[in-house]
Structure 1
């Protein structure tokens, strides 16, 4: 091999290494933005249930108005994913990581929408001028557990941790159990006092929204498993 050919080979390897490093940096930036979006969603879930428990109309309005931040982040991350696919033509696990990112932001956006639904439900209850028909115990528990599920599902994706992903699925069973308990308690209240039917129905919807948020967190856990194994695993049953 001539000196010129050797220099060309060395230069080519250096360029490939630089390109690969740039791609890895872009992937890390993508994941950081997904984590940022997830953190905002966690806070939104917490505030939506807090405004219901505290009967705080101002906080409810903040949740509704803040949804645009999540929507903007979804668009930003979507464009990042498209750019990476178009310019880098990723293969195998790299491609799965980006594809999973696409799905994850859709699930996060839906969680934010459900949080807005909870805040709007709180506003409707407030508008009646009636106090809560029962202390909120299981609904805040559901919200706290849902927040943990969101965080753990995203950590499972970033760390490529399948065991953590399965832990999220097990937590979803707890959410389902709490949802069923809320349903039974509110059903008894409605049967005993028809005047509670309107608010009880609203609270049932809140419980249902939280149950759906947990389902979306489980979807993200499925994406984490897909990233690692290349196989789709159904965890929502």
Structure 2
């Protein structure tokens, strides 16, 4: 591979990682919409769409391995390829978490309205999108900003989980054992939804952490 071809391959990798991230965020958006509206068809689309995310993830991991093995990058190029390799895993897992939302939407008998899942999801999505921007632009300050805002998302998720449990304790399911079981199912799904959205945000922080290390060899956000 010529020097020009090598630089083009690095540029292509950056663009491809961003594209995979955008695809995962689209899946997340659709999963949130399915939860909010109870749209079973959209939920099925989200679940079925996970295979394409997984296939593309494996292709791009292969590209990273080829660059490492065949081109033997050094210094900043090595950090870039290694960071991209790690970031791909976080983006694939965002896709997995979006698939979970699709499954929760199918299992629910009614749209979730006890907590503002859409707002939590928007915060989590914004963290991943901001981290992808930082990766694409090579912006170290933006990486630190993503990590700094994660505490807000964690607090939002904590408040939502506490509200779900409080509503369960204060609610009245009566003596009907089936009603009790339905309430418990709803609570379990909501708690899992909140947990998964918090994890989406965590993956955004991971992307920012890997990007910061790529840019400045700074492990500040890795631990």
TM-score calculated relative to the size of structure 1: 0.85
Instruction: Say if 2:43 and 2:102, in contact at 8 Å, map to a contact too.
Output: yes
1:147 aligns with 2:125: yes
Match for residue 181 of structure 1? 159
Partner secondary structure for residue 7 of structure 2? helix
Match for residue 110 of structure 1? 93
Say how many residue pairs are matched: 214
Match of 1:134 among 85, 88, 113: 113
TM-score calculated relative to the size of structure 2: 0.91
How many Å apart are 1:135 and its aligned residue? 4.8
Match for residue 70 of structure 2? 87
Instruction: Say if 1:169 and 1:235, in contact at 8 Å, map to a contact too.
Output: no
How many Å apart are 1:174 and its aligned residue? 1.7
How many Å apart are 1:22 and its aligned residue? 1.5
Match of 2:138 among 145, 156, 160: 160
Give me the whole-angstrom Cα distance separating, in 1, the residues matched to 2:200 and 2:135. Answer: 17
Q: Deviations over 1:88-147 (max 9, x none)?
A: 110011000000011001001111111111110111113xxxx3463552x111111222
How many Å apart are 1:231 and its aligned residue? 2.8
How many Å apart are 1:154 and its aligned residue? 1.4
Give me the whole-angstrom Cα distance separating, in 1, the residues matched to 2:111 and 2:125. Answer: 24
Instruction: Say if 1:146 and 1:214, in contact at 8 Å, map to a contact too.
Output: yes
Match of 2:150 among 157, 172, 178: 172
Which residues of structure 2 form unaligned runs of 5+?
174-179
Which residues of structure 1 form unaligned runs of 5+?
1-17
1:98 aligns with 2:114: no
How many Å apart are 1:229 and its aligned residue? 1.3
Match for residue 15 of structure 1? none
Indicate the RMSD between aligned Cα atoms, in angstroms.
1.6
Match of 1:224 among 188, 201, 211: 211
Q: Deviations over 1:29-73 (max 9, x none)?
A: 001110110001111111111101101111100000000111111
1:20 aligns with 2:3: yes
